């Protein structure tokens, strides 16, 4: 924490998340991943440089004439699955300078009745995201980047298309309950203690990826992690080495 910070202002944490792969029987893994920023200054700095890199390469993926493309700003959004390896590396090398997070869900170990039912799948993904966000907050506290005894403002940006596909159930309220009040686990008979001791504000924002560089970067992280998993599915040790750049990660179920 900055010793000169204004203690009357909340500490603002920005968590940005996109997905790669779906929680269905036909896919082996589903990933939720993205970036974490602990200040607006850090977030804005990331966006400025990331946008600059995108501007330098985006017209290489446009079918229109370069002059028309630049004037109409109609180049396509650069998704992970369309990037050439050299551009993927270029963007990921920049992203790695910042804090990243991911949740790796092994679809093959999730009950079929959860994967096949929309409501059950939504609740499971809701639960997964709550655990991921709680893990991030706990680590930030441990790293002294966040003071749990001072007001906290948590801004969570999630790809709008992700929510349309899976649906989330009371995610915002669940995050507040998990972080500030704690939850009693009736199945195992123990209480998950709260980890935030002061005021907590949670803003959940659903964004269109084509209008958000933060979501676009999160898509790149999620897709990269998923590819590493699928290419190292028989050797999780190698997979863990490949995703050492991810600062905050959990494995489920």
Q: What is the pLDDT of residues 124-147, one digit of tens each?
A: 998 999 999 999 999 999 999 999
**pLDDT digit string, tens, across residues 67-82:** 666 555 566 788 888 8
Output the pLDDT for position 4. 38
* pLDDT at 202 exceeding the cut of 50: yes
Q: Can you give the pLDDT at residue 152? A: 97
pLDDT number for residue 186: 45
Per-residue pLDDT tens for 206-241? 998 989 999 999 999 999 999 999 999 888 889 999
pLDDT of residue 192: 75
Distance CA(107)–CA(115), nearest Å, equals 8
Q: How far apart are CA 183 and CA 174, in angstroms?
A: 9
Whether residue 96 contacts residue 90, with contact meaning beta carbons closer than 8 Å, is answered with no
Locus of tokens 């991030």: 136
- What dotted CATH number matches 11-252? 3.30.420.10
Whether 74 and 62 have beta carbons less than 8 Å apart is answered as: yes
- Residue 83 is given by DSSP the state -
DSSP H helical segments within 1-117, as ranges? 40-57, 66-72, 85-95, 112-116
Q: Is residue 205 classed as helix, strand or coil in its secondary structure?
A: strand
Contact 228, 79 (CB under 8 A): no
Residue 3 pLDDT > 50: no
Give the domain ranges of the chain: 11-252
Which 3 state secondary structure label does DSSP give 35? strand
Write down the pLDDT at residue 97.
98
DSSP three-state, residue 228 = helix
Residue 7 is predicted with a pLDDT of 62
Percent of the chain whose predicted confidence (pLDDT) is above 90: 66
Better-predicted residue by pLDDT, 62 or 8: 62
**Strands 11-20, 200-207: pairing kind:** unpaired
Cα 32 to Cα 76, 92, 107, 167: the distances in Å are 23, 16, 13, 14
């Amino acid at each position: 924490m900055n010793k000169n910070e204004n203690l009357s202002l909340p500490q603002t944490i920005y968590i940005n998340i996109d997905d790669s792969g779906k929680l269905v029987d036909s896919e082996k893994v589903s990933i939720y991943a993205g970036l974490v920023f602990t200040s607006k200054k850090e977030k804005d700095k990331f966006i400025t440089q990331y946008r600059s890199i995108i501007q330098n390469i985006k017209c290489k993926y446009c079918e229109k004439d370069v002059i028309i493309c630049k004037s109409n700003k109609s180049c396509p959004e650069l998704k992970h699955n369309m990037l050439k390896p050299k551009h993927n590396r270029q963007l990921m090398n920049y992203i790695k300078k910042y804090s990243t997070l991911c949740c790796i869900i092994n679809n093959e170990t999730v009950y079929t009745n959860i994967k096949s039912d929309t409501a059950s799948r939504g609740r499971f993904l809701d639960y997964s995201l709550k655990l991921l966000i709680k893990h991030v907050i706990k680590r930030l506290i441990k790293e002294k980047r966040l003071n749990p005894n001072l007001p906290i403002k948590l801004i969570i940006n999630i790809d709008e298309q992700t929510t349309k596909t899976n649906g989330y159930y009371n995610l915002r309220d669940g995050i507040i309950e998990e972080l500030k009040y704690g939850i009693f686990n009736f199945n195992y008979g123990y209480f998950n203690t709260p980890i935030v001791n002061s005021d907590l504000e949670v803003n959940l924002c659903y964004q269109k990826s084509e209008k958000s560089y933060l979501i676009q970067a999160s898509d790149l992280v999620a897709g990269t992690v998923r590819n590493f998993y699928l290419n190292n599915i028989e050797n999780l040790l190698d997979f863990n080495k490949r995703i050492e750049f991810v600062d905050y990660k959990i494995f489920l179920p």
